Amino acid sequence: MPLDHYLTLGRSGLRVSPFALGAMTFGEDPGGAGSSVEESEKVLGTYLDRGGNFIDTANFYTNGHSEKILGDWFAAHPGQREHVVLASKFFGNLFPGDPNGGGAGRSSIIAQLHETLRRLQTDYLDVYWLHIWDRHTPIEETMRTLDDLVHAGKVRYIGFSNTPAWVTAQAQTTALLRDWTPLIALQVEYSLLARTVEGELAPLAQQQGMALVPWGPLKGGFLSGKYRRGAEVTDSARAAYVGGPSDHDFDVIDAVAAIADELETTSAAVALAWLLARPQTVVPIVGARRLEHLEANLAGLDVHLTTEQLRVLDEVSAPTLNYPAEMNGQRRATLQFGGTTVDGEPSTVYPALLASDIRY
């Protein structure tokens, strides 16, 4: 599947590439873990040349340098901006000492958007994401402000990231009841090593017609292929920050590597192909500090996993979900369907019913 085989983003008329390009690593400040301006521009240019059209950043990434790199590139290439889906996020406070410099209140959202548009050198965003839930601001205030920005023409579509399902459901219901702009997508951590989103957020998104836009689809490089059991990795910023993979992680990593060997491709490509095969619209965000990282990730578009390979990956990476997820899985079918198959879902008979024919 090429990058120019586009998908509709959630319940909207917005068409995006099957992989979004994440610009979190564009810029070398702070810390020096990102990419130089020159390398960032190579990555961006290659993605666009391959037919990609969905670019994701945030006001907080590299202290605003990510947005500025994108803005400078589009200013130097007239006519390109209008043909991409440019997304950024608000929440991050770039002004130490100012309690209103970040968050999701009306004043702070408007101020953050003003600065984002200035750095990006554009007068609108295609998608504006709430980066993290602001528990100190009523969700109605956030949603009404975003709706005002849509009506003002400064934002086209909106989405949430890193927000609890109950808050997301409240926001979406409020928007629908009050005829405000609804959410069309959720940006969430999702990978073979991070599947707890399947407990609440993924079902909510599917039911509401929202797309899932996963960040960290390679779990910070753990699924890239460079991690092998017993081998030392010295060039990983994530490992230096949070430590290396756990034993369970390595079970998943080994299974991914085995399938990659079968298909003569990379672990990264297999991990990304698994996300594309999920039973709803999923548009992974691929990041790249170097051009070769982008090329390796884009290979995932050409990988087609068999039913058996998907089963292996599903089983080895099966998550432990919070209550009440377990109650709504096979146990629900057992209690509800009495051993029959409904809508393609089989069930077993509740064990206590097998012990007696007595009904009261």
User: What amino acid positions are annotated as catalytic residues?
Assistant: 61
Q: State phi, psi for 86 to the nearest 5 degrees.
A: -105, 120
Residues 6+ apart with CB under 8 A from 108: 90, 100, 101, 102
Q: State phi, psi for 302 to the nearest 5 degrees.
A: -100, 5
When computed from its CA atoms, the radius of gyration of the chain, rounded to whole angstroms, is: 22
Tokens of 108: 């702070």
**57-81: b or e for each residue (b if 16 or more CB lie within 10 Å)?**
bbbbbbebbbbbbbbbbbeeeeeeb
